[in-house]
Chains A and B, each alone.
Chain A
């Protein structure tokens, strides 16, 4: 091969070698930048991390990360320098955000870029590169004093890096979010476990109190059966009264602690009419002693319903009737059950003094009692209605109150019905009837 052609070949090889070395250097730069992004551990420095990662790849005096909303409005998300306006709108920005990089030899020719340029009249080179660190469009804007410093090829190369870097940042943010979520979940689990432990302890302590209390009450009963002086008998009666009251309070605490520990929603497969009747019967004697009447009215469609959480329903109903008997003082307590519109409602209405709206709103807070101004003292810790509300919530239902001063109170438990529950209940009832016919 003649010398001239050998020299020509050599020059060609040198050019290719130099270009390959430049590409390798560029790849190294990109990898280093990516490494810097992916090792960033401070979310507050994410903008700084982005700009630092680009510094090895392109020279700039100022840089901005803009994000575009659906209306095409670009807002500055990160920047090395504060822009003069918060947001701008221009189709060129939208075009870049959609993936087409651009370089402007003098950004001053484009008025939409003025807010990002330094003051003065000297030419300023601008390069715009697609960059979306989160879902949605965005772009990076590099600004450098001088004319025509950026080339379209350069913008295209940075676009490729920008896409990878943005994906890296997104992945990083997702990892951080997942870590935060895991941490919160762990915290929540610890808090829940502590709450359950606390409730169990409360229940256990209450339970342990009940045994000696029963001993006290039994001893008092034995004493009462003996012929003792009258003043002793009065003392014994006081012991019995106080002991009974303490026993009731301890029982309330055990119930509340059980519900808080999610232990109070046992299965119960009895029809609603049976539950309502049984609970109403428990209170008839006490009501009668107070000169009160308990009436029940059960919609035929509700009567045969067998709802999940039957024991919880029974407990709620017990609380509501107990409340009505306790607070109404006299008159009628009406228990009503209806099923319609995909829900079942249990209402307990009394003819007592009723409550103001403020008081009605407060009675579902634990340890809040009824009207403190009432003349007749009412026993209890103020846990009944909060417990009822919690049990109702656990069943996917709710407790409502309808009352006004002097007009009695009507408190209802509303429970969602599974699809077809009324029909199934009717069929079951019919089958039972046939079976026993």
Chain B
């Protein structure tokens, strides 16, 4: 038997919120879940939350972290001044699930490998590649973390992940594993589910004619594009929404014109991984939320509010179509949605939820809002990107 349900709480006390959501989940599933995905706003990310959750759902492997400004489920957008929490529980008698965590502590790749090994061990399948890896970490070292996961599970094991987020980029993001709320950890879940899944990882933005080659770069700071100061080039690409001579945070303005890198993988169409410009420095450089290298060809991407609102549903539909799942054969879905995109259309998040619900045939889903998204492209390559949407739709029947 495979079943999915969600539950939420808007209680301000972490312990009460955890218990309320856990009770709701158990009631909807009719039994204790085997695996739980928990997302909460930073308000509730205190030790009591994870401990109460673990106590209320003994035996469940618990994975999660903080979500930006709320959590979306098929029951609505759960948000409030005192915080919000939502859970997605999976009952799967024929599946195996495990969660592991490791401190980043200077070597994110090694930490990710260790966390995945622990998760596989807990799932009771230490030598195998799971059907799906879920990962959550603080923003900043995602590429290295994906590399660490590859060391253990191989390059083709699909990943669905998000970088934990807070309310205002203040570093209050946390990760949940078992009964603990963690900071600066990578938490990994190994899912050996017994049903078919459809997955998709897309940007939803479309490429423009404006492109340039990175000629100077260090980590996530682009110095020059085509030999010109990166801030200057990006200001042109943004159509004036961003000013090169005004150093500072540009996240909201840059949401509509992110940088894309073509993933040379398909003949019929191009897939792009996005980087969200976050800041213009005083020396004319451009900071982004994902690793860039000298030689990368950047493409100015374009999007709009309507496109962002409909993106979640489109990605979920694509995930189902790619796996050959019809909405009535889906059991539920997990969604990772860029927090920056969400903030750009926050007033229309209920609309996002409604469209998602329609695409999934009214089945349960949980959508977390993160500061960086990880997923598997159609070519089975796992990538980290910004302003992306990742989806995993679970089928109802045993595969």
Contact = CB atoms under 8 A, between A and B. Distances in A.
A12 to B, nearest CB: 6
A100 B194 contact: yes
Interface string B204-240: 1110000000000000000000000000000000000
A105 B322 contact: no
Which has the most chain A C-beta neighbours within 10 Å: B128, B130, B303?
Answer: B128
B307 A105 contact: no
A8 B156 contact: no
B58 interface: no
A72 to B, nearest CB: 17
A150 B194 contact: no
A214 to B, nearest CB: 85
A110 B129 CA distance: 13
B380 to A, nearest CB: 7
**Interface on chain A toward B: helix, strand, loop, or mixed SS?**
helix
Interface residues of A, number: 38
B96 to A, nearest CB: 9
Contacts of B129: 103-105, 148, 150-152
**Interface on chain B toward A: helix, strand, loop, or mixed SS?**
loop
A156 B94 contact: no
A12 B318 contact: yes
B306 interface: yes
Interface residues of B, number: 47
A159 B125 CA distance: 18
Interface stretch (B36-44, B146-154, B160-168, B360-368): B146-154
Interface in B359-395: 378, 380
A207 B310 CA distance: 102
A16 B318 contact: yes
A153 B126 CA distance: 18
A153 B157 CA distance: 9
Nearest to B197: A153
A8 B128 CA distance: 36
Contact of B157 (A2, A5, A151, A159): A151
A176 interface: no
A353 to B, nearest CB: 79
Given A8-B307, A15-B378, A103-B129, A148 B196 contact: no
A7 B380 contact: no
Contact of B153 (A18, A20, A92, A148): A148
Nearest to A15: B318
A431 interface: no
Nearest to B310: A5
Which has the most chain A C-beta neighbours within 10 Å: B158, B205, B378, B399?
Answer: B399
A286 to B, nearest CB: 84
A351 interface: no
A15 B269 contact: yes
A12 B271 CA distance: 10
13 contacts: A4-B205, A8-B205, A8-B311, A11-B269, A16-B321, A18-B266, A109-B126, A110-B127, A148-B153, A151-B154, A151-B158, A151-B380, A152-B130
Q: Which 8 A-B pairs have the closest CB atoms?
A: A148-B154, A105-B154, A7-B206, A19-B322, A152-B131, A14-B269, A110-B127, A16-B321
Given A104-B128, A106-B127, A148-B155, 14 more contacts: A2-B304, A2-B306, A4-B206, A4-B302, A4-B304, A8-B311, A12-B317, A16-B321, A19-B321, A19-B378, A92-B127, A102-B128, A151-B156, A153-B158
